[in-house]
Amino acid sequence: RPPCPPDWLVLQVPARALLEGDTVTLRCRGWEDKSVTEVRFYRYWKDLGVSLGGTELSLSPLRLNDSGLYYCAGGVKYWRAPK
């Protein structure tokens, strides 16, 4: 099945300065808190793999070369009531 539209997913990062050696957790959340499945994380279009923690990816210890453009992809469980 194809991945959901990218605007249905949000990649959350801490709203603080990050320093080398820190631990940072990236979280992939669904639009309107919809359930997200089969999450994969990417850095500069390189697949970092399926998240073992469900919807989170932890970078520890954080290194200078971990900086870059990150995004996530996955499926969003969306249920629509029958008409």
**CB proximity list for 30: less than 8 A, separation 6 or greater:** 8, 9, 10, 36, 76, 77
Q: What is the mean pLDDT of residues 15-25?
A: 91
| Residue 81, pLDDT score | 55
Q: What is the pLDDT of residue 41?
A: 93
9-76 CATH pick, 3.40.50.10490, 3.40.50.1110, 3.10.180.10, 2.60.40.10: 2.60.40.10
pLDDT tens digits, 47-75: 987 776 688 999 999 999 999 999 998 88
Two tokens, residue 43:
């850095």
Comparing CA positions, the residue from 64, 57, 56, 53 lying closest to residue 21 is 64
